[in-house]
């Protein structure tokens, strides 16, 4: 069996498991998997599933998902080509052309008041069409992407199609092969080949800023504004390093100062703007007629600083209609060997962004909170169920691909053992954790804004709390959050299988978040209590009484969401506003009473948290004492390395000399100095475990 067919079968299994676990159709499960990958890769922003189609007649259309970046005037439309067979098939050009034509027709239809008035306001088609209609004058670029689990004959880069109503349309494809490559790449970005010479009409002159003996090459160049706009117009956020991409998607603000400079003093843009910091795995160089060196192509281009500048330049062209012919942008381009990209690029990103307002939370996958959650997930076993001898573990995926990596190179026996210990239905991704937490924090309006924006809000909140009280994120916090996940997932699956939802699909994600937030709000205001997460964790399921409450409440919440104020036509956008929550949270619904044994009062919660924090502090001290013993044989190597890199404080120097001599009875200030040193060395890519 070929590697591609094996990957296809693994994808098919993922789709079937997702559909079964959540009680949804296979096509929706397929869309969810591809949409998450497309967003993570920068092909799209977060998309909402809005499957609707019309066959035959005048202007037939088909659409499966949409996302609208209002601030940048970019509309994203997705259309699915899902095959339910057992063999990897090919996409022919006719099917490709037809799919793009149907998605383009949906955009064209949605700009028409006749179409808007002809469709039901609670339908998925209206949910996607009305934002387009109401903001049609703001839409300056449409990105249409085809999701397919079939394969293209050859790779197809994004292509600029014919304009519709003066709006440029960019077509791209996420086929099975690209999907597999993105999944396999994990931390490293998907390879992008940018043909500079073709776009610019020739290579761009550059200055080499490194010697041939250095491990990586550096170049300085001035990119013409129209070239940068076209490159970003084709590839979009795929060009941005992931932390920068997440930041821009969550905080969609266009830099007004940049637009002002382009409009009034374009000649001074090069002087005023800090420019871009970018990386590549290779460049194609040519000698120009005047003898200068020029860059003709860039392989694996990633912008690690200057994402806002790049996005604002395209905005100036698309939205502000500003000419870019006198605009030049300076770029510092580092060519990093492929083997070192994963290690070096995050450092360049971190250092290049220190002068910008990108908080520590924006580099959140390496934040200590994530490392702590990952550690808990690998060591904490859930209580055994149904007579089993051992319990299962929840797998917290700190970085994309960790779970799949756990079985990728395993034997059949090893894979079986891994799946028994970490079953697929107990996988938690970072963005899912954010949804669980924020729903029960009574912030459903944030959850409704999409995975990336919810995650960034969660990251900001957690980072602030971590700074003041890191021991709060202990085993108790982890178990409680897993219990939240149990309730969230049960609610998701229940709604999907409910008759009332089958009759009128739409706003499922909003209904889940608002339902759980309403329950949390009711318990808190009635009794100053929370759900008894420990009881839910111990049975690893949702108690029947809570199931009954959720079953009664979900259709009522769904109706309340749809019965928005008279001036609201876009329910999905309304759900993103705190005003929506203020409206829903104050409503009374006739549901079964919440039993006392399902709640935990404030006194018990406080005592439980206090004991968990105390236990976390003790565990931390024990871990450090164990680490001290392991440091003794290499204390001198660590001391010299730290001294060489100018990390060594006098107190850390003194402490390491003591450790090296066998004296492990350190005073607290000495221990703290060593802790800080180890932390700093780890952040710089020099973990003491490797010495």
Highest mean pLDDT among 2-16, 341-355, 403-417, 577-591: 577-591
- The pTM of this model reads 0.74
310-363 pLDDT tens trace: 888 888 888 777 889 999 999 999 888 766 655 566 566 555 554 444 444 344
**For residue 611, what pLDDT is reported?**
61
**For residue 669, what pLDDT is reported?**
79
**For residue 683, what pLDDT is reported?**
62
62-114 pLDDT tens trace: 999 999 988 788 999 999 999 999 999 999 999 999 999 999 999 999 999 99
What are the DSSP calls for 380-448, one per residue? PPPPP-TT-SS----EEESSTTHHHHHHHT--HHHHHHHHHHS-GGGEEEHHHHHHHHHHHTT-HHHHT
Work out the mean pLDDT of the chain and round it to a whole number: 84
- Boundaries of every domain in the chain: 3-185, 193-358, 368-594, 605-690
Least confident window among 100-109, 399-408, 493-502: 399-408
Q: What is the mean pLDDT of residues 200-214?
A: 85
Tokens of 146: 């085809």
What Å distances lie between residue 68 and 78, 135, 136, 246, CA to CA?
Answer: 12, 10, 11, 16
> 387: phi > 0 → left, psi -120 to 50 → alpha, else beta; which?
left
Residue 293 CB coordination number (10 Å) = 15
Instruction: Give the integer Cα–Cα distance in Å for 11 and 3.
Output: 12
Least confident window among 300-304, 520-524, 552-556, 676-680: 676-680
Contact predicate 279/254, CB 8 Å:
no
Tokens of 488: 């969230």
618-673 pLDDT tens trace: 455 546 655 666 677 788 888 888 888 888 888 888 888 888 887 777 777 787 78
Find, among 230, 243, 198, the residue nearest to 310 by Cα.
Answer: 230
Tokens of 679: 């932390």
Helix axes 508-527, 475-497, angle to 10 degrees: 130
**For residue 357, what pLDDT is reported?**
45
Q: Is the pLDDT of residue 246 over 60?
A: no
Q: Is the pLDDT of residue 247 over 60?
A: no
Instruction: Give the integer Cα–Cα distance in Å for 592 and 599.
Output: 15
Q: Is the pLDDT of residue 135 over 90?
A: no
Q: How many helices (H) and strands (E) does the chain have?
A: 30, 18
The larger pLDDT score, comparing residue 62 to residue 370, is at 62
Contact predicate 11/176, CB 8 Å:
yes
Contact predicate 407/419, CB 8 Å:
yes
């Amino acid at each position: 069996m070929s590697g591609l067919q094996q990957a296809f079968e693994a994808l098919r299994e993922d789709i079937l498991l997702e559909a079964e676990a959540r009680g949804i159709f296979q096509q929706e499960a397929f869309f969810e998997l591809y949409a998450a990958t497309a967003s993570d890769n920068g092909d799209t922003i977060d998309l909402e599933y809005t499957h609707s189609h019309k066959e035959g007649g005048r202007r037939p259309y088909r659409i499966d998902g949409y996302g609208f970046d209002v601030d940048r005037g970019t509309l994203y439309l997705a259309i699915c080509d899902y095959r339910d067979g057992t063999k990897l098939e090919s996409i022919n050009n006719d099917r490709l052309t037809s799919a793009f034509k149907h998605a383009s027709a949906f955009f064209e239809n949605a700009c028409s008041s006749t179409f808007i008035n002809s469709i039901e306001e609670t339908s998925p088609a209206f949910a996607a069409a009305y934002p387009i209609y109401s903001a049609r004058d703001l839409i300056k670029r449409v990105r249409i992407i085809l999701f397919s689990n079939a394969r293209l004959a050859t790779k197809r880069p994004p292509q600029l199609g014919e304009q519709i109503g003066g709006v440029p349309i960019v077509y791209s494809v996420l086929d099975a092969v690209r999907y597999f490559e993105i999944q396999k790449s994990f931390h490293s970005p998907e390879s992008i080949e940018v043909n500079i010479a073709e776009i610019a009409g020739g290579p761009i002159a550059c200055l080499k800023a490194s010697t041939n003996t250095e491990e990586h090459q550096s170049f300085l160049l001035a990119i013409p504004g129209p070239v940068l706009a076209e490159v970003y117009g084709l590839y979009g956020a795929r060009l941005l390093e992931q932390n920068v991409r997440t930041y821009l998607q969550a905080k969609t603000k266009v830099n007004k100062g940049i637009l002002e400079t382009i409009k009034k003093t374009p000649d001074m843009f090069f002087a005023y703007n800090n420019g871009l910091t970018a990386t590549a795995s290779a460049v194609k160089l040519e000698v120009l007629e005047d003898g200068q060196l020029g860059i003709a192509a860039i392989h694996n281009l990633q912008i690690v600083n200057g994402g806002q500048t790049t996005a604002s330049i395209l905005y100036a062209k698309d939205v502000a209609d500003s000419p870019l012919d006198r605009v030049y942008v300076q770029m510092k381009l580092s060519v990093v060997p492929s083997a070192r990209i994963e290690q070096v690029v995050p450092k360049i990103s971190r250092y290049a962004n220190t002068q910008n307002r990108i908080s520590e939370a924006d580099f959140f996958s390496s934040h200590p909170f994530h490392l702590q959650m990952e550690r808990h997930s690998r060591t904490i076993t859930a209580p055994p169920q149904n007579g089993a001898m051992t319990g299962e573990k929840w797998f917290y995926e700190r970085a994309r691909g960790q779970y799949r990596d756990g079985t990728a190179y395993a034997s059949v026996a090893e894979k079986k053992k891994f799946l028994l210990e970490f079953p697929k239905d107990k996988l938690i991704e970072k963005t899912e954790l954010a949804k669980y937490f924020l729903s029960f924090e009574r912030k459903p309006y944030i959850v409704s804004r999409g995975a990336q924006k919810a995650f960034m809000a969660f990251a900001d909140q957690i980072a602030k709390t971590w700074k003041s009280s890191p021991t709060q994120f202990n085993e108790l916090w982890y178990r409680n959050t897993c219990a939240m996940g149990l309730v969230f997932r049960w609610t998701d699956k229940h709604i999907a299988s409910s008759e009332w939802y089958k009759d009128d699909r739409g706003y499922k994600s909003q209904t889940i978040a608002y339902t759980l937030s309403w329950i949390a709000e009711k318990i808190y205001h009635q009794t100053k209590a929370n759900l008894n997460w420990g009881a839910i964790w111990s049975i690893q399921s949702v108690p029947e009484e809570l199931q009954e409450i959720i079953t009664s409440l979900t259709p009522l919440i769904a109706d309340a969401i749809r019965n928005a104020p008279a001036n609201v036509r876009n329910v999905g956008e309304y759900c993103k506003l705190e005003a929506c929550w203020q409206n829903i949270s104050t409503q009374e619904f006739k549901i079964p009473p919440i039993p006392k044994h399902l709640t935990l009062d404030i006194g018990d919660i406080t005592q439980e948290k206090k004991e968990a924090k105390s236990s976390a502090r003790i565990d931390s001290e024990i871990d450090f004492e164990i680490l001290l013993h392991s440091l003794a044989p290499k204390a001198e190597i660590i001391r010299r390395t730290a001294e060489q890199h100018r990390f060594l404080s006098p107190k850390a120097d003194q402490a390491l000399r003591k450790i090296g001599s066998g004296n492990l009875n350190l005073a607290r200030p000495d221990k703290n100095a060593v802790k800080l040193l180890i932390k700093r060395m780890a952040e710089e890519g020099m973990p003491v475990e490797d010495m």
